Chain A
Amino acid sequence: MKVTIVDYNSGNISSVINSFKEVAQDTVNIEVTADLKKITSSDKVVLPGQGSFKSCVDALNKINGLTEALTEFAISNKKPLLGICVGLQMFADIGYEETETKGLGWISGKVLKIDNQNGKYKLPHIGWNQINIIKQSKIFENIENNSHMYFVHSYEFIPNDKNVISSTTDYSSNIVCSVEKENIFGTQFHPEKSDKLGLNIIDNFLNI
């Protein structure tokens, strides 16, 4: 099996690479690249993302044909894709971090700043929070409800169709922390930084 972690200068992806290599060992070939042919010929794709919504979308668009290749992979060919953090947020139609920015539009919805209730809640939402699994997802095999995952974000994805939401977490409100729509998966939290349970989620994705 060939799994590509998309390297599009979206910030620090070392931890994503390390965690996938740890789980994959020698049975899965992990490629880290933005090469369009390698992406479209992969069995699975991981789309990480750090920094702002705008900086990630800009970085995607800077690589000629990358958005189209990812869309072909996930939408036309319906192969499994996992978005992490801003990688998940970019599934949306539109994001409002820095300035209004068009997303990939794969899962209809928008990305807004978390309501900090006039400073009652610190932002970014940093640390370990529990996930409330509201829909069984393939990536949650052997993951118990209320498991702790590691979060770092100030913006949240608000999908129009609530049926895509597989888990939420409680911070100011019920924040969407994972989605599953057919072959498209996303986590707002960082499985690569969520210790053994996070590695379990990565393993689940590799085993889809």
Chain B
Amino acid sequence: MLKNRIIPCLDVKNGRVVKGINFVNLKDAGDPVEQAKIYSDGGADEICFLDITASNENRDTIYDVVERTSKKCFVPLTVGGGVRSIDDINKLLNCGADKVSINTAAVENPKVVIDSSKKFGSQCIVVAIDAKKNGNKWEIFTHGGRNNSGLDALEYAKKMEDNGAGELLVTSMDRDGTQIGYDVDLMSKISSKVNIPLIASGGVGNLDHLVDGIKLGNASAVLAASIFHYGKHSIQEAKEYLDSKGIPVRI
């Protein structure tokens, strides 16, 4: 049976791990390579790096981080943040990333998703969706949550599947950094709209939230950051908890 995945996400800035609270007030939580290794040894099903300042600053540091990590971790590594072109994707994959997640560029230029999934295969193209509730719908935000594209999240998700995305990484902007749980309504609506796997993100504060993301949000994988970073829970604890709730996990 296919297992639901737990994916710790490391926000990386200038080669160091940080975790934002609503994308501000950053705290330093260490070296990304060492952390990734601790997570993969601890049973993480995948590792995710998000280069949070990549859109604005020199991002060469991330290539070095990816290259060093991929020589130590032998579970899938996804890298996102500032991925704008086929060249960016090519470079990250060559450094050892297994998947890239594309956010702003996928909104601004859908051709990037079409072309990259053809060139590299859908299996390595994750489209990251940052969505915020507005009335009865959710709208897509870009540039690390700063710009509202006005696009409807459900329609956009379907379009990205059609364009060749292999997975969707859906973050609720309303929940990110709040630790009050995923927006499971958003997750389940998108998940039922598409036939590709959905990774839920944004808002995890305890282990029940992970359970909700899978059971109520219908996510194939759950991504979390701070609950793992500061030693609140280990990956193993999270898996044992999910297992106790009847969710299939790799233990």
Contact = CB atoms under 8 A, between A and B. Distances in A.
B74 A22 contact: yes
A52 B166 CA distance: 13
B120 interface: yes
Given A12-B93, A15-B98, A122 B197 contact: yes
Contact of B98 (A12, A22, A171): A12
A193 B40 CA distance: 11
A160 B242 CA distance: 40
B71 interface: yes
Contacts of A123: 195-196
Interface stretch (A63-71, A75-83, A100-108, A124-132): A124-132
A51 B2 contact: no
Interface string B1-21: 111110000000000000000
Chain A, interface residues (CB within 8 Å), range:
35 or more
Given A116-B195, A153-B123, A193-B98, A127 B74 contact: no
B70 A127 contact: no
A151 B75 CA distance: 11
A192 B75 CA distance: 8
Contacts of B130: none
B176 interface: no
A122 B94 CA distance: 28
A154 B196 CA distance: 10
B220 interface: yes
Given A11-B121, A126-B197, A198 B74 contact: yes
A148 B250 contact: yes
Interface residues of B, number: 33
A124 B123 contact: yes
Tell me whether chain A's interface is mostly helix, strand or loop, or mixed.
mixed
Nearest to B4: A127
A36 interface: no
A50 B74 contact: no
Interface in A105-144: 116, 119, 122-130
A50 B98 CA distance: 11
Given A14-B95, A18-B71, A52 B121 contact: yes
B112 interface: no
A194 interface: yes
A8 interface: no
A170 interface: yes
Contacts of A24: none
Interface string A32-54: 00000000000000000011100
Contact of B121 (A50, A125, A198): A50
27 contacts: A11-B121, A11-B124, A12-B120, A14-B70, A14-B96, A14-B97, A18-B74, A18-B96, A19-B74, A50-B120, A51-B119, A51-B120, A55-B118, A116-B195, A123-B195, A124-B167, A126-B167, A127-B45, A128-B2, A128-B3, A129-B2, A148-B250, A152-B123, A153-B123, A193-B76, A194-B74, A195-B74
Interface of B: 1-5, 40, 45, 70-71, 74-76, 93-98, 118-124, 166-167, 195-197, 220-221, 250
Interface of A: 11-12, 14-15, 18-19, 21-22, 50-52, 55, 116, 119, 122-130, 148, 150-154, 170-171, 192-196, 198-199
Given A123-B195, A170-B1, 17 more contacts: A12-B124, A14-B70, A14-B93, A14-B94, A15-B74, A50-B121, A51-B119, A51-B121, A116-B195, A119-B195, A122-B220, A124-B123, A127-B4, A128-B250, A193-B74, A193-B98, A195-B40
